[in-house]
Structures are given as C-alpha cells and as structure tokens.
Structure 1
Amino acid sequence: MPQVQIEGVDLELVRKNIRTIRLTVYAPDGRVRAAVPLRMPLESIQQFVVARRAWIRKHQATFAARQPAPQLRYEDNETHYYQGRGYALRLLPAVGRPQVILREEQGQLELHLPPGNTAETRAALLAAWYRARLKEQVPVLLQQWQPVVGAQAAEWGVKQMKTRWGTCNTRARRIWLNLELIKRPPQCLAYVVVHELVHLHERLHNARFWGFMDQFMPDWRQHKAELNQVALTPAMHPDAD
C-alpha cells in the first residue's frame, strides 16, 4: 500500500472506485489511511489532508493518551472488569462443569475449572461468560432505544473487534457490537447501541448524524469520552472481523 507524506502527515493512500475521499485515523497507533477516487489528482488530495490536519492530530493525540490495555494472564487475584467495575479473579477447582460465578459483594469473579487448565482455557471460559451476559443485555437496550431513535435493526451480533466498539451495515440493517463493551459501564454500551441505530438514519459521521445523537441521547459526549479513555483489550482468540 503506497505510503505518502503530506505536510508532515504520514498516511496510506488507497485509490478506489469511490466519489469522495474517506479519511480514517486508526487506534491504537494513530495510523492514517486515505481512500481516494481513482482519478483524483494528488494536489486535490493534498489540499484535503491539509484542511483536515488538525482533525487528524486531535485523534492521534486522543489515541496516544489512552490507558494501555493490560496484558492479561488469567491468574489468581488478577483484576478483570465487568460493567465498569474491577473484580479479582479467583481460580477454583470445578465440582461439575466449568463455570463463572460473579460475587458482586465480595468483588470477585470465580472461575471454576478442572485441575491442569491453561490460560487459554480460562480466557475462553471467561469470554463465553462475557458474551452470554452481553447477549442478555442487548435485547433490552434495543427494546428501549429503537422506539426513541425511530429505527430498527434487522439483525445484531457480538464479536471481538480490534479497533471499533461497534459497526453498522446500513444496507443489511445489521449491527455488530464489540464484546469488550461488557467490561465498560452500562451507559457506554447504551451509547454504542444508539450510535449504531442512528447510522440507520445517516451512514456518515456528519452534522446530520451528530444532530440525531444530540436529539436522542443528549449526554452522548460523556459516554464517548469515557470509552476513549481506554484502549481496546487484545483478545486471545479474536473473532474474524
């Protein structure tokens, strides 16, 4: 992929069969990618990037300021998060089948597993528990927010994503939510659900889109800022994007 530098901004330049420039800054390292129309002259691309330079630097600074994701080992007393609260992991021998038990009052997440288990086994068990909890909560949020937004998703799903909290296929009316959202406070999950539902009205992140967000969830900026404080946690077995 061609690498170019425009007024101090390093970016990947990709020519595609599109009508307008699509500029993206990626977490966690602030990598910049510009998808541009096939026949657009370099001068026009340079003008566009220069005009958006402050926007690029702002997003790169946001990513640089994020707390790094912890390197999890799934060991006893290691801190793991659920709905914004940290819990101490407890590894206990399984009496029956492997299971996860949340002890809210004690501030503990118990993993009950047979002896000789591995970190990969413990990670998979906890991920399955996280996925089940998220799948319990999403239908409730959709029932609450779809009438408010005035848009209904035809399908939704959960998967591990490396760079996004959620995505929306507007043509299929399909929403995907990042499994990592189950670790963040509940209002952050609600924000992403609303965000993706609003994409069913407006595909782009433009003034119309953010106007809808102001209308449907006036405090969305607070929840977005809270999500931006942390980097996405790398999964041991990420789903395919």
Structure 2
Amino acid sequence: MPQLLIDDLRIEVVRKNIRSLRLTVYAPDGRVRVAAPLRTADAAIHAFVSARRAWIRKHQEQFAAREQPAELEYVSGETHFYQGQPYELRVHETAAGPLRVKLLEDGFLDLFAPAGSTREQREKALHSWYRARLKEQLPALAARWEPVVGKQAAEWGIKLMRTRWGTCSIRARRIWLNLELIKQPPHCLDYVVVHELVHLHERLHNARFWGLMDQFMPDWQVAKQALRSVHLKPCG
C-alpha cells in the first residue's frame, strides 16, 4: 500500500472512488490510514493530516495506554469472559470424544477435552462455543433493534476482526459482528448492532449519523467508551 511520511508520521494512503478525505487511526498499534478521492494530490493529503495531528496523537496515546491482555493458554485457573462476566476456566481431561464447553452459574467455565489435546484445539473449542452463543442471540437482537432503527439487514454474520467491532456492507445490507463482542457486556453488543444498522441510513460517521444514534440509543456513548478501553487481539 502506498505510504507518505508526514513529519514523523507514516501514513498509509488508499485512493478510492469517494468524495472526501477520510482519516482512521487503528488499534492496537496506532497505524494511520487516509482514504482519498482518486485524483487527490499528495500535498492535499499532507495538509489534511497536518491539521489533524493532535487528534491522531491523542488516539495513538490512548491505544498505547491500554493494558495488554495476557496470552491465554487455555488451562485451568485462567479467567475467561462471557457477556462481561469473568469465569474461571476448568479443563477436565476425558478419555476420548469431541471437546465441549459448559458454563456454570457458580462462576466456572468447564472445558472437557481429551488428554493430550493441544492449546489450539482447546482454543478452537472455546471459540466455537462463543460463536454458537452469539449466533443464538442474533435473532432477538435483530427483532429488537431493526424496528427501532427502521432498517433491516439482509444477512448477519460473525467473524473475528482485529480492528473493528462490526462492519456493514451497505449495498448487500450485510452486517458482520466481531466474535469478541460475546465477551463484552450486553449493552456493548446492542451498541454495535445499532451502530451498524444506522449505517444503512447514513454511510459516513457525520453529524447525521451521530444524531440518529442519539435518537435510537440515547446512551450509546457509555457502550462506545467501554469498548474503547478493550484491547482487541483476537486469536486464531
């Protein structure tokens, strides 16, 4: 990808068939990308970035200050989260058979795995369990929020994403949710669902977009702030 060095900032530049310049700072490393209309001169990009230098630095500092999550080994005693609540993982060795997961109300998350199973196998089993739980919740989420927002997605999907909590393909009306959302409090999942549905009204994050967010989910900023404090580092 083409890059510009503006002062001490390395900027990724992608030219697209769009009308205006867009700036994004990505977690976790604070890399900067500018999306620019096809015929935009480098000098115009330079001026655009320079005018927003303080904003860029602020977000890079926020990302750098986030606590780095511990590397998970999927062994007994680790803390794993589900819907914002911590659970202690207990790995139970079995003679054979598929790996399975069971959530207990007393604060334990039990993983049944054959003796000699690898970290990757245990991770895959837990991710499959997380995916199934989030998939179960999607119909109710759509039924709750689509009438409020006044837009309906044609398709919902789940995948691990390194930099985003959700994405929306406006033309296809397809919304993807980050699997990591199942670990966050339910109001965070609601926020991302509403956020992506609002993109079916307004593609850009402009005043109209945030005004619609205020209308449909007045407390959206609480959830957004909570998600900003999370270091996204999906595995697998």
TM range (shorter): over 0.9
Could you tell me which residue of structure 2 aligns to residue 118 of structure 1? 118
Could you tell me which residue of structure 1 aligns to residue 105 of structure 2? 104
**Cα distance in 2 for residues equivalent to 1:227 and 1:183:** 11
Secondary structure (helix, strand or coil) at the match of 2:182 reads helix
Secondary structure (helix, strand or coil) at the match of 1:164 reads coil
**Cα distance in 2 for residues equivalent to 1:213 and 1:37:** 27
| CA distance 1:7–1:203, change in 2 (3 Å) | same
Could you tell me which residue of structure 2 aligns to residue 133 of structure 1? 133
Q: How large is the RMSD of aligned CA atoms in angstroms? A: 1.6
Cα deviation per residue 1:150-205 (whole Å; 9 max; x = unaligned)? Answer: 11101001011111000000000000000000011111011100100100100111
Matches within 5 A, 1:73-222: 73-94=73-94, 97-105=98-106, 107-222=107-222
Counterpart AA for 2:108? Q
**Cα distance in 2 for residues equivalent to 1:226 and 1:52:** 24
User: Following TM superposition, by how much is the alpha carbon of 1:26 offset from its aligned partner in structure 2, in angstroms?
Assistant: 1.0
**Cα distance in 2 for residues equivalent to 1:13 and 1:97:** 46
Secondary structure (helix, strand or coil) at the match of 1:211 reads helix
Could you tell me which residue of structure 1 aligns to residue 233 of structure 2? 233
**Cα distance in 2 for residues equivalent to 1:13 and 1:121:** 38
Contact 2:180 2:234 survives alignment (8 Å): no
User: Following TM superposition, by how much is the alpha carbon of 1:17 offset from its aligned partner in structure 2, in angstroms?
Assistant: 4.1
Cα deviation per residue 1:19-41 (whole Å; 9 max; x = unaligned)? Answer: 32222211111100112233222
Q: Which moved more, 1:123-132 or 1:30-39?
A: 30-39
Q: How many aligned residue pairs are there?
A: 235
Contact 2:80 2:89 survives alignment (8 Å): yes
Unmatched segments (≥5 aa) in structure 2: none
| CA distance 1:38–1:92, change in 2 (3 Å) | same
User: Following TM superposition, by how much is the alpha carbon of 1:46 offset from its aligned partner in structure 2, in angstroms?
Assistant: 1.9
**Cα distance in 2 for residues equivalent to 1:58 and 1:218:** 26
Unmatched segments (≥5 aa) in structure 1: none
User: Following TM superposition, by how much is the alpha carbon of 1:97 offset from its aligned partner in structure 2, in angstroms?
Assistant: 4.2
Q: Which aligned runs of 4 or more in structure 1 are off by greater than 6 angstroms?
A: none
Counterpart AA for 1:222? V
**Cα distance in 2 for residues equivalent to 1:149 and 1:54:** 34
Could you tell me which residue of structure 2 aligns to residue 64 of structure 1? 64
Counterpart AA for 1:195? H
Secondary structure (helix, strand or coil) at the match of 2:232 reads coil
Counterpart AA for 2:37? P
TM-score (norm 1): 0.92
User: Following TM superposition, by how much is the alpha carbon of 1:67 offset from its aligned partner in structure 2, in angstroms?
Assistant: 2.0
